[in-house]
A and B are shown apart, each in its own frame.
Chain A
Amino acid sequence: MTKAPITSKVQMPLLMVMAVFLIVVMPVLNMTGHIQDYTLNLWGKYLCYGIMAVSIDLLWGYTGLLCLGQALFFTLGGYMMGMHMMLMIGKLGAYNSNLPDFMVFLGHSKLPSFWEPFYSFPFALLMVFLVPGLLAFIFGYLAFRSRIKGVYFSILTQALTYGASLLFFRNELMMGGNNGFTDFRSILGADLRTGSTQRILYITTAILLVAVIFGCKWLTNSRFGLIQRAIRDSENRVLFSGYATANFKLFIFVVCAMIAAVAGALFVPQVGIINPSEMTAEKSLEAVVWVALGGRGTLVGPVIGAISVNALKSWATREYPDFWILILGGSFVLVVMFMPKGIVGIPAQIQGFLKRFKRHPGRLSKVVQTETEPAES
């Protein structure tokens, strides 16, 4: 894999501009009233998706593991934060009870013991990391130990997500069944419905996004990242060189699960609802679409992909509800086939195209053919 020169040169300044725009410019414009609260809130949601997209990129783009369970980790993080916020509603719910509404509705009179510690915010925050991290550790340990890789890994993570969503749809789990959690009031004592709380949440998300990108950039440029990419390109060679590839993969898998979980935890207070329909393999695949569209293996690309696809979705589901899915599916097929490097890769693609065209004007069609079919694995 050779690096595309233009992309890498542009990437750093592009990242800085993006960071300043998201963290400073947007909130300031919102305070001065140029951007509506609704729009800012919407962007907060996009950025959460962006964080999840970065975690997928770290897994897929840099390690070659296509995980269809990222939506599961994202939702689990959201559920952990949701549990805390459900308890913070207190007596303000529809039944004026200390219990969350759905428990009263199901006829329970006592809070299940595993809910008790979630009264504490630090505990909930810890669980946001621990629960998805632990699940990823156990699953990853089993999967990587028996050298499940490639598409098998994808299929198994898909099954994991499917199983988990079946579980969360049950009322017996005491996690709200198919309605999930909603109707949140406050976070850390601040009223969720005020613009200022939402703005702070947005800024937190934006800062976290930029931090995650820089963290991943540092990680992938380190020696660790080198091995990571070597695993992607030829795992057996790395293995035969004496590296325990399973441990590397396990580490990155757990880290990515946690990143997705934090994104989920920030997503819930901004969107105000979490339910098991977020937990499906389709949602994971949708997130993979953002990464593919933005350009995998670039870290910035996935964020651009997440924002643009979701912005497109917000618009298209309003304007053309019947055709939105056709557009999404169709564009996905086209991107996979003709733009293997995504939006971020377009300049490099054009550049390479022009270069070859100058050298061999007559062999254009053949060039295109080889361009779209780089050998993998």
Chain B
Amino acid sequence: MDRQGFMTRLMWIAGLLGIVLAIQEVSAQGEMSVREKVAAAITMPDSDNQIAAVLALKLTPSPEIVEWLGKWKEGLVFIYQDETGATIPVLLGEKKTGTRKVTMRRLDDDSVVKAGDGMSVEVAPLDVEMAETSSKLRKAMKQVTDLAALANPDLALRIRAIEDSAIGQDPEKLPALLMLKKTEQNQKALDALDESIAIINLRSVDTAKRVEAAGLLGRRGSLAAFDLLKTIAAEEKKSGNRKMEEAALLAVKRIEAHISTINATGTMFRGISSGSVLLVVAIGLAITFGLMGIINMAHGEFIAVGAYTTYLVQNIFAKGIDLSPFGKSISIPGMKLSEGGMDMYFIAALPLSFVIAALVGLLLERSVIQFLYRRPLESLLATWGVSLVMQQLFRLIFGPNNVQVSSPTWLSGNWTVNDVVFGWNRLFVIGFAVLIIIATWLVLNKTSLGLLIRSVMQNRNMAACMGVRTERVNMMTFAFGCGLAGLAGAFLSQIGNVGPSLGQNYIVDAFMTVVVGGVGNILGTVISALGIGMADQTLQQYLGNPVIGKILVLGGIILFLQWRPQGLFVTRSRSLD
């Protein structure tokens, strides 16, 4: 401990010396770039001067320092002596094929090293000397780079550096952190600073400081300090330091409480978002199965139609696509949009996937389903045949493997509140589900088509007597349900893989959701989707095994139907089927 303290003091003295030297140099040569400063440091005659020059960089902390000092430390900087005998720090260029020599670029201004006659100099890599670093020098560099990282103007990176500085609980880092604390403006960064300082203080020699640090960490619910506090509590139990042990134990207890809140909130959030996925997938089915009573086993394939439409739109916005269905090759040219344009492709894909899935649905209704309205079991079988055909067509057109659909950049990233991570894509899922539900509700309740749909579904014969063209309403309703499936597909393409069997992964869940919700009731579907999603995620959290959780949910659904055979919401009627 003592020896280390002495060394630290020595370093600080050296640092101060360096600062003085550096000030002299800056005043002598005016403003120098970081590269120039590093280059100057390399050309210093001996190790002590080099250390001083490096420590001088502390005055102007910037992320660039990390980069260039890093290059030096990794041995990527070489020293070249030109004809006049001057030493020039250089970076070596790429080795060209055929020659064993490379060109050099100066470290200070990035220009190519040229001989007196203006020709660029080429050397064999073994002929130039590497810029050496001593262990003392490397230590100085580390100090400087740590500080430089702490001064990163980018808030997220700065906080990351602050958090990283606590790792290892190195008391040598304290001064830098304390210094930063004086100038830091941002509240988040200040919180992180407090936490890091407290973590380092846990290893302080002063017990009062340690107890205070433990108290702070406990109040903050610091996740980073959790394991550390546990070890400290165990250590102090052995050494008999009751005060510190109690403080550590209290902090551990507080952090544990914080962790369980985080887990509960996280599980709830994931439950709502996976429930939203179910909801988006099942809402189309709630129309075709719930309202019309058609068992559309090809519903999953309509989802895939939407997903593949999104894939096509994405490629058309980018550089086009080559397909080879049935041995014929088709080439669709692309618009070659830039990054910003690419982010917009999803906006275009949404309506298109709805329309295309609805059109395919219209085709299916006209060709097959219209003959099977009174035979539900047989519509199940026929649509299963259709689903097989559609899956195989996807395979033949787009290939048997998953295709790549990139999600827009604004979907990656997350939003952290009080240590609970809310992923943007999950938030997007929830928002999308809410929008679809509102849109469906509006269509069913506020448009004339919705009025016709409801009348035909309630009493087909009566509606027909009143002059409603029931066949047409059937057609429109089925197409609407399929269009919703297409939307679901566009949406799933953003959060999962797109492949020929995309729909198969969701079809059982979707049917379950509609059955549990009560057939013919949109609100029931919403509640059952959220309920199943929450149950699924909660079981996963507590069992730690997604498959067993899923099986339990399926079993739970079967038992639930004992209690309410007709689902959550029963459409009451006096008719006996």
A and B: interacting chains:
yes
| Chain A residues engaging chain B, CB cutoff 8 angstroms | 60, 66, 139, 142-143, 145-148, 150-152, 154-156, 158-160, 162-163, 166-167, 169-170, 236, 281, 285, 288-289, 292, 322-323, 325-326, 328-333, 336-337, 340, 372-373, 375-377
In the complex, B570 has a CB within 8 A of chain A: no
A332 touching B511, Cβ below 8 Å: no
Provide the residues of chain A in CB contact with B555, threshold 8 Å: 163
A-binding segment of B30-38, B163-171, B388-396, B473-481: B388-396
Bits for B522-551, please: 1 = Cβ < 8 Å to A, else 0: 000000000000000000000000010011
Provide the residues of chain A in CB contact with B403, threshold 8 Å: none
A285 touching B392, Cβ below 8 Å: no
In the complex, B565 has a CB within 8 A of chain A: yes
How many Å lie between the Cα of A167 and that of B375 in the bound state? 33
**Smallest distance from the beta carbon of A60 to chain B beta carbons, Å?**
8
A159 touching B374, Cβ below 8 Å: no
B377 touching A325, Cβ below 8 Å: no
**Smallest distance from the beta carbon of B225 to chain A beta carbons, Å?**
36
Residue among B368, B391, B550 making CB contact with A166, cutoff 8 Å: B550
User: Across the two chains, which residue of chain B brings its CB closest to A331?
Assistant: B385
Interface of B is mostly: helix
Provide the residues of chain B in CB contact with A288, threshold 8 Å: 381
Provide the residues of chain A in CB contact with B381, threshold 8 Å: 285, 288-289, 292, 332, 336
B382 touching A337, Cβ below 8 Å: yes
Looking at chain B, what size class is its interface with the partner chain?
A: 35 or more
Bits for B555-567, please: 1 = Cβ < 8 Å to A, else 0: 1011101100100
A142 touching B558, Cβ below 8 Å: yes
A158 touching B511, Cβ below 8 Å: yes
Provide the residues of chain B in CB contact with A163, threshold 8 Å: 550-551, 554-555
A377 touching B558, Cβ below 8 Å: no
- Having A142-B562, A375-B374, one finds 11 other A-B pairs with CB under 8 Å, namely A139-B558, A147-B565, A151-B380, A158-B508, A170-B547, A325-B388, A325-B392, A329-B386, A333-B385, A333-B386, A336-B385
Q: Which residues of chain B from 363 to 406 have any CB-CB distance to chain A below 8 Å in the complex?
A: 368, 371-372, 374-378, 380-382, 384-389, 391-393, 395-396
A146 touching B386, Cβ below 8 Å: no
How many Å lie between the Cα of A326 and that of B512 in the bound state? 28
User: Across the two chains, which residue of chain B brings its CB closest to A323?
Assistant: B392
- Provide 16 A-B residue pairs closer than 8 Å at the C-beta atoms, listed in order of the A residue: A60-B377, A146-B561, A151-B295, A151-B376, A156-B558, A163-B555, A166-B547, A169-B547, A285-B381, A289-B381, A289-B385, A329-B389, A332-B382, A332-B385, A337-B382, A377-B376
Provide the residues of chain A in CB contact with B512, threshold 8 Å: 155, 159
In the complex, B466 has a CB within 8 A of chain A: no
Residue among A60, A292, A325, A372 making CB contact with B389, cutoff 8 Å: A325
| Chain B residues engaging chain A, CB cutoff 8 angstroms | 295, 297, 368, 371-372, 374-378, 380-382, 384-389, 391-393, 395-396, 508, 511-512, 515, 547, 550-551, 554-555, 557-559, 561-562, 565, 576-577
State whether A66 and B380 are in contact (beta carbons under 8 Å apart), knowing that A159-B508, A375-B374 are contacts in the complex: yes
A376 touching B374, Cβ below 8 Å: yes
**5 smallest A-B Cβ distances: which pairs?**
A329-B388, A332-B385, A329-B389, A146-B565, A163-B554
How many Å lie between the Cα of A156 and that of B508 in the bound state? 9
B389 touching A326, Cβ below 8 Å: yes
How many Å lie between the Cα of A158 and that of B381 in the bound state? 13
Provide the residues of chain B in CB contact with A60, threshold 8 Å: 377
Interface of A is mostly: helix
**Smallest distance from the beta carbon of A152 to chain B beta carbons, Å?**
6
Provide the residues of chain A in CB contact with B561, threshold 8 Å: 142-143, 146, 148, 156
How many Å lie between the Cα of A32 and that of B115 in the bound state? 95
State whether A328 and B388 are in contact (beta carbons under 8 Å apart), knowing that A167-B547, A336-B382 are contacts in the complex: yes
B547 touching A329, Cβ below 8 Å: no
Residue among B380, B392, B396, B565 making CB contact with A329, cutoff 8 Å: B392
B384 touching A159, Cβ below 8 Å: no
State whether A159 and B386 are in contact (beta carbons under 8 Å apart), knowing that A151-B380, A336-B372 are contacts in the complex: no
- Max chain B CB contacts within 10 Å: which of A142, A152, A372? A152
User: Across the two chains, which residue of chain B brings its CB closest to A149?
Assistant: B577
Provide the residues of chain B in CB contact with A376, threshold 8 Å: 374-375, 377-378
- Max chain B CB contacts within 10 Å: which of A139, A151, A169? A151
User: Across the two chains, which residue of chain A brings its CB closest to B295?
Assistant: A151
**Smallest distance from the beta carbon of A65 to chain B beta carbons, Å?**
10
Residue among A281, A322, A328 making CB contact with B508, cutoff 8 Å: A281
- Max chain A CB contacts within 10 Å: which of B391, B554, B577? B554
How many Å lie between the Cα of A146 and that of B562 in the bound state? 5
Residue among B297, B372, B380, B551 making CB contact with A167, cutoff 8 Å: B551
Provide the residues of chain A in CB contact with B375, threshold 8 Å: 376
